[in-house]
Structure 1
């Protein structure tokens, strides 16, 4: 007998300004789905303009779970996202709908798909001991020690990659187990869903860069500077918090404080956003098996909708 099909779920991944939200809303118009945000910036309340958060009218028509759930003073981890997302997916499935997870935080997608390895926290004393050994013997010698304890990890690390060698040795000595073994266990934590992964990638990065520039200009016109000023008045914030390290917010804060010239805010914000998009594209290209679509194609929403219809019909 064939095993019963797992409940369906859809992932929509892509870099900033690739049109993910528009695609997700188009699916919501056509299919019985509910949306879950996969965005490490949109989790913060009162951070609306700089996160490109859908406006109130849009959210009223197309509700997104995991938006506006914590204060900008708090932190939100990939582990917490995974737990929250799985709860939301289960609730949506039990309501006879299909969860659609949409966003650009690739670490969150990876955590959802593969789980999080149960790795120990850093041990300062042990790290100091490893560093002392390396100072006396050299990192190639430490690499040889790792090869005896964890040959799989050693094989993918360069003999002078001090940071990763230190961490791998630290884990071996703290747990008595190879890091590769612990990571392999986390890979078995795939969620119990029949997943359709959709990746939105640009056929021309220059066009995406133009979109990013236009959107940042729109954020500035919409009052990003005032938003950051109000956030600083309302909350006890610093540049060390994850919320204020978000692209656009850090640069605006620095311009307000005079750390950078105000006339450089636009260029620095656009540059940082383009760098973010580059990292997102690299993650999506190298770390996920997704059906990819050109996010610049005028027929994008129709193409994704047709692909989704075939998936849900099977």
Structure 2
């Protein structure tokens, strides 16, 4: 009986502003890949400039899956991402092509590779109550509550990561079990032969300059107008995952009159640098990650192609 070959998939991780999208587009010309976005901000419609979403011209040449799948008023969990990604990966493989997952939302990558425990489905009544508490008492109050209920989860979830704090509390309020307890239930890992690459900026100062320049470019092409359009909808607020995306959160505070323009710019750039730092920390703890230099996109693409071909032989 012929043994079925394990399907292959390429994973391309990297911090914000490291050139992941440019590398993926370059790689699309060299290998029969279809790109799946692994980014918790790119899922939202009407949020193009501030998320650094690929342009329409780029998407026509190199389509990306899992872009523009949610309205900014909606939520999207790591569990939902895994389900959606697996369906798309299966279709790509059936079409004789290779899934290439590209992004910087490391928890999504982790959920995809390791699987997730059987977490309870969202309860929108409970979420609304948690949202109200966050709005009235702040995210730090919620993190303090999580410390009392599930100190192990509170220790690994950053106090500013409101979405994950809310989800951990929601799980406890629904099931009576902590997120830590449920995670210990067996998971089903990803059944793919993985080729994992990470764009690791060796020059942190250069990455910071890229972040600053990119944000200035966003402002120049209309990021404030894009944010105002969201603000004026009336159904969004500062504690929603979409609005809490880096850049949008600071712009929202400026539009709301809470901070000055120059403070908004400084805080947005600083928050983006902190995001990049957390992403790099994730990557340094990653197993089986082949590092690439973000300064030379063509060289990185050639290394991926060589590594991929060598493993095939």
Where on the TM-score scale, by shorter chain, does this alignment land: which range? 0.7 to 0.9
Output the TM-score relative to the length of structure 2: 0.78
Q: 1:178 to 1:302 in 2, by over 3 A?
A: closer
Q: What residue is the counterpart of 2:107 in the other structure?
A: 107
Q: What residue is the counterpart of 1:27 in the other structure?
A: 27
Distance 1:179 1:25 in 2: 38
Q: What residue is the counterpart of 2:70 in the other structure?
A: 70
Distance 1:80 1:232 in 2: 26
Q: Map Cα deviations across residues 193-235 of structure 1 (whole Å, 9 max, x no partner).
A: 1111111111111111111111111111111100001122346
Q: Given that residues 227 and 248 in structure 2 are in contact (C-alpha distance below 8 angstroms), is that contact kept between their aligned partners in structure 1?
A: yes
SS in structure 1 of the partner of residue 93 of structure 2 = helix
* Matched pairs, number: 270
SS in structure 2 of the partner of residue 57 of structure 1 = helix
Q: What residue is the counterpart of 1:225 in the other structure?
A: 224
Q: 1:33 to 1:268 in 2, by over 3 A?
A: same
RMSD over equivalenced CA pairs, Å = 2.9
**1:102-251 aligned within 5 A:** 102-118=102-118, 182-183=183-184, 185-186=186-187, 189-234=188-233, 236-251=235-250
Distance 1:256 1:179 in 2: 38
Output the TM-score relative to the length of structure 1: 0.78
Q: 1:259 to 1:191 in 2, by over 3 A?
A: same
Q: 1:202 to 1:184 in 2, by over 3 A?
A: farther
SS in structure 2 of the partner of residue 244 of structure 1 = coil
Distance 2:20 2:53 in 1: 12
Q: Map Cα deviations across residues 45-80 of structure 1 (whole Å, 9 max, x no partner).
A: 010000000011111110000000110010010000
Given the alignment of the two structures, is residue 10 of structure 1 paired with residue 26 of structure 2, yes or no? no
Q: Any stretches of 5+ residues in structure 1 without a counterpart?
A: 124-141, 147-152, 158-162
Relative to structure 2, which stretch is displaced further, 229-238 or 49-58? 229-238
Q: Map Cα deviations across residues 267-293 of structure 1 (whole Å, 9 max, x no partner).
A: 111100000000101111114431111
Q: What residue is the counterpart of 2:273 in the other structure?
A: 274
How far the C-alpha of 1:105 sits from its partner, in A, is 0.3
Distance 2:179 2:252 in 1: 43
Distance 2:289 2:309 in 1: 16
Q: Any stretches of 5+ residues in structure 2 without a counterpart?
A: 127-147, 156-164
How far the C-alpha of 1:183 sits from its partner, in A, is 2.5
Q: Given that residues 37 and 64 in structure 2 are in contact (C-alpha distance below 8 angstroms), is that contact kept between their aligned partners in structure 1?
A: yes
How far the C-alpha of 1:178 sits from its partner, in A, is 11
How far the C-alpha of 1:87 sits from its partner, in A, is 0.2
Distance 1:184 1:305 in 2: 38
Q: Given that residues 32 and 98 in structure 1 are in contact (C-alpha distance below 8 angstroms), is that contact kept between their aligned partners in structure 2?
A: yes
